[in-house]
Chains A and B, each alone.
Chain A
């Protein structure tokens, strides 16, 4: 007994196993992984060049109008001041890149996450089996992710966005699943009694009623992706993570500071706007 509990006598080489697995993946499947990059690359480059091409005044205008429509005057004014400040601090272009990274990551999270959430809501087995995967995706420290991501996708902004997608997808899957499961069974019964097909039940009853919850998931996904895109600067991604990372390397506290402030302001603006999108769904 004493022997078994002596940690010097027994050793499980999990680290070696992981290395073997990742090496094997890299050795055999790198082309396939590179293919995943392509749609992300196109989306990201498109949004990024667009946001950096439009004059800031247009971006500001759209942002303020959007905030005004969905969240009211206070949030609109706050958004305007925040983004003006970001611009005057000289980080406009970096902010647009980060925004583009967040948008692309979130688009892929929605496209992949909502259907997965819907499947999970209809199958207990699937829901149970993806749960540990989601836990892993969400809790693995960001830095641990980055190693295999670099090995599979090499470095750069696209690789950063892919790491962000993986990190920030769990909430939208979880909350889509939860939202659909929370729809009252009587409502589904009523929909069926009037001759709805399963697809109609989903599209006319379950998804619309789950929308506030799905929106809450979207809000969390956006917040998580914001924290990850900054860390992604470590593997060569652009955007607001760059000044923070440079400031860290050369101990320029001011540079890291303005990067940090811009991230916080942007997070608050995005949070307020998406939160009221969820409220809107509740009516």
Chain B
């Protein structure tokens, strides 16, 4: 990696929860771990000796299981949680040391945050929510509404500006959360499990949205996640956390090639991936989905499949429930044999189509995947389409785990 400007430098950052945290430091010196310290002193180690640098314009993902300290870590960057000791340099100023007044100024001008639970103000409209950061900063109403509107346009919600958050779906609410973070035009955006509360289809849609926004203007983003696929997909670099420690920092590629320890390895490769992973984990939603409604006929369906350069289309009803699979061939046959009245898509459904549920293990899904000519659709317990698994995807998964 070439020399890039560092935006954030975190040095020896600690968070110990409880009274008299000095006791923990003594035990650290004796080489005691998190669990022993808790047993002996009742102190909880949140983050232990975290040091890393974040470069300008990158998406830096902090990744770990719940309880690994990643949420505590990100909250120390804007001091929603006070560090016990250590430094957080933002453009050469130490956030950990600055006065309350300066901290408020930094939060208003330099850092914004997107939350897992969205944390939108229910008593404010979408526009007012997007303008919240500027409102507390005392910007004039006209200016803040203009900028908030621009941010809403960026996430495609300008039409909902006067709605209340409750009236929007989860995905749309998080777009508002994102717009609120963008509107203040911050140097750094902290995203705490920002997409984890969304269902898988919406989640990957939001990830794409974030990458698109990132392409338009390079921001420095620190993204917290427990989802490996998410980290690999959006992260320029990843920091792996375990039990309050940062165990490895690197590009996804580097971490894949040289995992620092067994914990990191376990993330990337199970003992036998077909037992560890479920169909829902590897289902891809890049296949063509067709929503069965009155306007949808064999010709429009064919057109969509051809344009996506695919061979099959997955027909869903309006509530995304899986109905059947059509292929280029079956659609063409239907169009040729079509009488005067418009034929319905269901007449072109392939025979012997079987879907697997997202909770079936890859072991169980394997026979279906190998037997079918088409990628096997994956549904949840309500028959709602989650994606599909092609032979290709399946093999890639095995490969990744074995490498």
Are B119 and A189 in touch, CB under 8 angstroms? yes
Stretch at the interface among A22-30, A127-135, A192-200, A247-255: A192-200
A200 — which chain B residues lie within 8 A by C-beta?
136
Q: Determine if B113 and A186 form an interchain contact, defined as CB atoms under 8 angstroms apart.
A: no
Is B46 close to A, CB under 8 A? no
Closest CB of chain B to A180's CB: distance in Å? 14
- A235 at the A/B interface (Cβ < 8 Å)? no
Interface residues of A in 168-200 (CB under 8 A from B): 184, 186-187, 189-197, 200
Q: Assess whether B136 is in contact with A195, with CB atoms less than 8 Å apart.
A: yes
Contact check, B119 vs A204: say whether CB atoms are below 8 A apart.
Answer: no
Q: Which residues of A contact B106 (CB under 8 A)?
A: 195
Residues of chain B from 111 to 138 with CB closer than 8 A to chain A in the complex: 111-113, 115, 117, 119-123, 132-133, 135-137
Interface residues of B in 217-237 (CB under 8 A from A): none
Contact for A283 among B80, B104, B111, B164, CB less than 8 A: B164
B136 engages A191 (CB within 8 Å): yes
Cα A69 to Cα B253 in complex, Å, equals 64
B109 contacts across to A, CB distance below 8 A = 195
Residue of A nearest to B137 (CB): A195
- Interface range on chain A (Cβ under 8 Å from partner): 10 to 19
Are A195 and B164 in contact, CB atoms less than 8 angstroms apart? no
Query: Which residues on A sit within 8 Å (CB–CB) of B123?
Result: 208-209, 283
Contact A186 B133 (CB under 8 A): no
Bound Cα distance from A28 to B184, whole angstroms:
60
| Residue B108 at the chain A interface, CB threshold 8 Å | yes
- Pair B135/A193 contact, Cβ less than 8 Å: no
Which chain B residues lie closer than 8 Å to A187 at the CB level?
Answer: 119, 121
**Chain A contact residues: helix, strand, loop or mixed:** helix
Do A186 and B119 touch across chains, with their CB atoms under 8 A apart?
yes
Q: Is B107 an interface residue (CB 8 A)?
A: yes
Question: Is residue A205 within 8 Å, beta carbon to beta carbon, of the partner chain?
Answer: yes
In the complex, what distance in Å separates the CA atom of A191 from the CA atom of B119?
9
CB distance from A38 to the nearest CB of B (A): 38
Q: Which of A194, A208, A209, A283 contacts B184 (CB 8 A)?
A: A194
- Are B122 and A190 closer than 8 Å at their CB atoms? no
Contacts of B111 in A (CB 8 A): 193
Give the shortest distance, in Å, between B76 (CB) and chain A (any CB). Answer: 12
Contact of A194 among B117, B122, B136, B164 (CB under 8 A): B136
Contact A197 B119 (CB under 8 A): no
Could you tell me the distance in whole angstroms from the C-beta of A202 to the nearest C-beta in chain B? 12
Residue of B whose beta carbon sits closest to that of A189:
B80
Q: Are A204 and B136 in contact (CB under 8 A)?
A: yes
Contact in complex: B112, A193 (CB < 8 Å): yes
Which residues of chain B are within 8 angstroms of A184 by Cβ–Cβ distance?
117, 119
In the assembled complex, the CB of A182 is this many whole angstroms from the nearest CB of chain B, namely 12
- Inter-subunit contact A190/B136 (CB<8 Å): no
Give Cα A209–Cα B133 distance, bound, in whole angstroms.
18
Interface contact B112-A197, CB-CB below 8 Å: no
Residue B248 CB within 8 A of the other chain? no
B208 to chain A, nearest CB (A): 25
In the bound complex, how far is the Cα of B122 from the Cα of A187, in angstroms?
A: 9
Closest-by-CB residue of A relative to B101 is: A197
Question: A209: which B residues are within 8 A, CB to CB?
Answer: 121-123
Specify which chain B residues have a CB less than 8 angstroms from the CB of A190 in the assembled complex: 113, 115, 119-121, 132
B107 surroundings in chain A (CB, below 8 A): 192-195
Contact among A189, A196, A204 for B115, CB-based, below 8 A: A189
**Residues of B with C-beta under 8 A to A195:** 104-109, 133, 136-137
In the complex, A232 Cα to B119 Cα: how many Å? 48
In the complex, A193→B118 CA distance in Å?
13
Q: Mark B177-213, 1 if CB is under 8 A from A, else 0.
A: 0001000100000100000000000000000000000
Of B122, B123, B137, B164, the most chain A CB neighbours within 10 A belong to: B123
B78 contacts A by Cβ under 8 Å: yes
Q: Which 7 pairs of residues, A with B, have the shortest CB-CB distance?
A: A195-B108, A195-B107, A190-B119, A194-B133, A193-B113, A186-B119, A196-B136
Where the two chains meet, the residues of B that have a C-beta atom closer than 8 Å to any C-beta of A are 78, 80, 104-109, 111-113, 115, 117, 119-123, 132-133, 135-137, 164, 180, 184, 190
14 of the cross-chain contacts (CB-CB < 8 Å) are: A186-B115, A186-B117, A189-B80, A189-B115, A192-B107, A194-B112, A194-B136, A195-B105, A195-B136, A196-B104, A196-B136, A205-B121, A208-B123, A209-B123
Q: Other than the known A190-B115, A208-B123, what 13 A-B pairs have Cβ atoms closer than 8 Å?
A: A186-B119, A187-B121, A189-B115, A190-B119, A190-B121, A192-B80, A193-B78, A193-B80, A194-B133, A195-B133, A197-B136, A204-B136, A209-B123
